[in-house]
Structure 1
Amino acid sequence: MGYLYNMPSSEGWAIGLAVLFTLMAFNEFSRSTKWGGLAIFLVLPIFLTIFVWPTTAAPGNEYGTGNWFNWVKTYSALAGVLGFMAIRFIPGLVKNKWALAFPAAILAINIFEACFRDFQVYSYGAWDGEVINHLWLMSGSWNIMNGIAGLLNIIAICGWAGIVISKDKSKDMIWPDMIWPWIIAYDLWNFAYTYNCIPDHSFYAGFVLLFACTIPAFLIKKGAWLQHRASTLALWIMFIMTIPTFASHIAPVPTTHNPNAFFIVSLVALLANIALVAYQFNKIRKHKFNPLKDEIYKETKAYQNAIAENV
């Protein structure tokens, strides 16, 4: 990690772990009770939008939270959470093919927003690194590589027609065809995006935040990665929009600003997503799947485990 970041002290690691477990705890609370989810992701954001964010995330503020991307990402993440709650708790929606297209669509939109941001950072021409809109950024080939990696990740989204609702009390949105190859490729791409576009905030917004949704997807509620991702992302963005000094002043973990680190992180993300698309397209060709209708990974153990535990 010392290659990527100027490593935090033991106190810094403790703060990172506290953020991780807090995100996971609120995710568990919001998914286990419908009213808890509505309180956190509907009532609270309305209050913050009216009374808090116009000050803490004002356009052009010194903390970097007042740019278009932060505002768009906040509401697109919240739209995802609330849309998924509708699918989970409104009878009949899970049987509607248009409703089931929503999770794939909002996921693709969120990835595309980030790809656009990577290309935008490249367009700044900050080849030696400079502060732009109160964020330190360094433009380079890594922005192009990772933007392409994100577009490939969108292409590889599949199997949403097989989304089901778990039979337990929490009524989680289970996407069994979204198995570990796609999740890992996404995580590598998203970490590279945060490293490229919010580098000195990426320890929390990338490294910690991705663990906050990936751990539950593998160890707590299998098949519900997208639901975990949307909730933890919305929680983090709401927090950082409310307390914008956290990652920059209260508990900063800056990157090393090493161009080689930027290049390697994005190269790994690009190679992982090329491999994912090549593997997936080979399965589609071999089995004559329709990626807009068919589930691709039904024969895998990961898919079967998700079905067995939830249906």
Structure 2
Amino acid sequence: MGFFYESTNFTGWAIWLFILFALMAFNELGRSTKWGGIILFLIVPIGLTIFVWPTTAAPGNEYGTGTWFNWVKTYSALAGCLGFMAIRYIPSLAKKKWVLCFPPLILAINILEAAIRDFQCFTYGAWNGAYVDNLWVMSGSWNIMNGIAGLLNIIAICGWVGIFISKDKTKDMIWPDMIWPWIIAYDLWNFAYTYNCIADHSFYCGLALLLSCTIPAFFIKKGAWLQHRAQTLALWIMFVMTVPSFADRIAPVATTHNPKAFFILSLLSLIANVALVIYQFNKIYKNKLNPLKDEIFVETKAYKKVVEENR
């Protein structure tokens, strides 16, 4: 904690754990029942859009939730949840190849939004740290490194032609080619992004939020990482838009504002994503694959296990 974050007490960790498990629990509710998903990702957001967010996420508010990025991120995450639900529950959609372009497209858009935000934070010129739109940011080379890492992560999105719906009653959207190297590279990139651009909120929207989708992807429903990610992201950002004071006033855990911490995280993110792209393109070249038409990791144990468990 001392290098990346200011120290927190038992209460702070208890709140962090509550956020982690609440996100996982609501994700399971949205995943396990059709009506749970409809209520969480359609009915509740409509009510909040009309009656709550115009006040709590008004432009220029003191918590920084009124920026273009927060509004775009909210609705793009919700669009992903609803789109994935349509693919899961309308049998004819999952059989159409053009429909399967939606998951990688919405994922790429979300990553691109964040990469642009990293580059934007660099342009602020806040070399010693400053409040911009009521959020503390520190500009530096880390923004460029991590922005590039995000673009590489988009390039490494592969195998969406193999997306299918699981045979069990939850009808999860399974993407077997999205194996653990991509997920880890994404997590490192996204954590570095939150640390760079939402620094003093990243204890929650970085660590807790990423674990809330990564844990289910490894231990609860393998192969459904994107579904877990879309739903936990939508849940978190709806909460932040509704209770904007949470990370600043209610349960704040600030970063140390140490330039070395920013640099190290973004360097790790860049290295991981460069390695991922090299690994992936080596497989494409070696096996003479077309990344727009073929799945890349069909011979791996991770891929085979996901298919065996869900098809």
TM over 0.5, shorter chain: yes
Alignment pair present for 1:98 and 2:98: yes
TM alignment of 1:72-151, pairs within 5 A: 72-151=72-151
CA distance in 1, matches of 2:305, 2:253: 38
Gaps of 5+ in 2: none
Q: Deviations over 1:197-242 (max 9, x none)?
A: 0000001001110000000000000000000000000000000000
Q: Deviations over 1:157-184 (max 9, x none)?
A: 0000000100111000000000000000
1:276 Cα deviation (Å)?
Answer: 0.2
Look up the match of 1:13. Answer: 13
Alignment pair present for 1:63 and 2:75: no
CA distance in 1, matches of 2:34, 2:2: 42
Aligned Cα root-mean-square deviation (Å): 0.5
CA distance in 2, matches of 1:258, 1:306: 41
TM alignment of 1:265-284, pairs within 5 A: 265-284=265-284
- The runs of at least 4 aligned residues of structure 1 exceeding 4 Å deviation read none
- Structure 2 counterpart of 1:216, which letter? P
Look up the match of 1:224. Answer: 224
CA distance in 2, matches of 1:252, 1:60: 20
Gaps of 5+ in 1: none
- Structure 2 counterpart of 1:154, which letter? I
CA distance in 2, matches of 1:60, 1:159: 41
CA distance in 2, matches of 1:286, 1:36: 44
- Structure 2 counterpart of 1:219, which letter? F
1:7 Cα deviation (Å)?
Answer: 2.2
- Structure 2 counterpart of 1:256, which letter? T
CA distance in 2, matches of 1:27, 1:308: 24
Q: Deviations over 1:6-45 (max 9, x none)?
A: 0211110000000000000000011100011000100000
3-state secondary structure, aligned to 2:59: coil
- Structure 2 counterpart of 1:269, which letter? S
CA distance in 1, matches of 2:60, 2:96: 42
CA distance in 2, matches of 1:305, 1:58: 46
TM-score (normalizing by structure 2): 1.00
CA distance in 2, matches of 1:209, 1:222: 18
Look up the match of 1:2. Answer: 2
CA distance in 2, matches of 1:154, 1:160: 13
3-state secondary structure, aligned to 2:3: coil
CA distance in 1, matches of 2:285, 2:120: 35
Look up the match of 1:38. Answer: 38
CA distance in 2, matches of 1:91, 1:52: 35
Q: Deviations over 1:95-142 (max 9, x none)?
A: 111110100000000000000000000000000001111011100000
3-state secondary structure, aligned to 2:256: coil
CA distance in 1, matches of 2:171, 2:230: 16
CA distance in 2, matches of 1:304, 1:241: 40
| Number of residue-to-residue matches in the alignment | 311
Identity in percent: 75
- Structure 2 counterpart of 1:258, which letter? N
